[in-house]
Amino acid sequence: MLPQDTYKHKGLRKKLVETLIAKGIAHKEVLKAMLRIPRHYFMDSAFIEHAYEDKAFGIGEGQTISQPFTVAFQSQLLGVKPKEKVLEIGTGSGYQSSILLEMGAQLYSMEFHRTLHNKAKKLLNEMGYQAYFYCGDGSKGLESAAPFHKIIVTAGAPAIPNPLVNQLHKGGKLIIPVGDAKSQKMLCITKKDVDDVEVQEFGKFSFVKLVGESGWG
């Protein structure tokens, strides 16, 4: 059974969205999704009182539910349009997944940790969302369902994984944090053609490590 979503929760979400706007988030569909999604559904009961603070929190397996600003920033860069085929690497709690689904994505989401995969899949199904969930090495992408219009990676990588670029449609976009174990630059990679990509940098962030063959091992 889902937790209650009270007037208090909705009021706190409204304040959170106001904070995100003040920090530079302007994408209307991202803001609408953030306003609709009860973030406290995705958090341990011990953290529920803090669910609408602009902070990351632990979700087990050494992973976190990302700071709302980070979720909004990546979602804004991704710019999902309804019915676009999107691959998410790092399902985690499922919060980022729900934002993408609210924006109309046809979502394929991969998670390395079986416990988190099972929990997120169950919760999102209970919330009425339809998506494709996989447990495995997300750094390899999902060749069986490629190509994708958009790919989003919610963990820090040491370099841009070639399999993910290869699995993009021409004109497709990959959002990924790349750097060392402590700090990464947010990159937006646009696939112009088979061997032609444009890379843009958008500030520094701190993510958990991307696990897998094209990640940190």
Using pLDDT thresholds of 50, 70 and 90, give the confidence band for residue 60: confident
pLDDT in the model for residue 24: 97
**What are the residues whose beta carbons fall under 8 Å from the beta carbon of 138, sequence distance 6 or more?**
89, 90, 110, 111, 112, 153, 210, 212
Q: Is residue 217 part of a domain?
A: no
Return d(Cα 88, Cα 76) in angstroms, integer: 14
pLDDT in the model for residue 181: 86
pLDDT in the model for residue 13: 96
Q: Is residue 144 part of a domain?
A: yes
pLDDT in the model for residue 22: 98
Q: Which domain holds residue 82?
A: 7-205
Number of structural domains, the chain? Answer: 1
Q: Is residue 200 part of a domain?
A: yes
| Catalytically annotated residues | 66
Return d(Cα 102, Cα 97) in angstroms, integer: 9
Q: Is residue 212 part of a domain?
A: no
Q: Is residue 61 part of a domain?
A: yes
pLDDT in the model for residue 47: 74
pLDDT in the model for residue 76: 98
Q: Is residue 174 part of a domain?
A: yes
Q: Is residue 215 part of a domain?
A: no
- The single-letter code of the amino acid at 11 is G
Using pLDDT thresholds of 50, 70 and 90, give the confidence band for residue 62: confident
pTM greater than 0.85 (yes/no): yes
Instruction: List the CATH number of the domain containing 91.
Output: 3.40.50.150
Instruction: Flag whether pLDDT at 46 surpasses 80.
Output: no
The rounded mean pLDDT for the chain is: 95
- The pLDDT tens digits of the residues spanning 125-151 come to 999 999 999 999 999 999 999 999 999
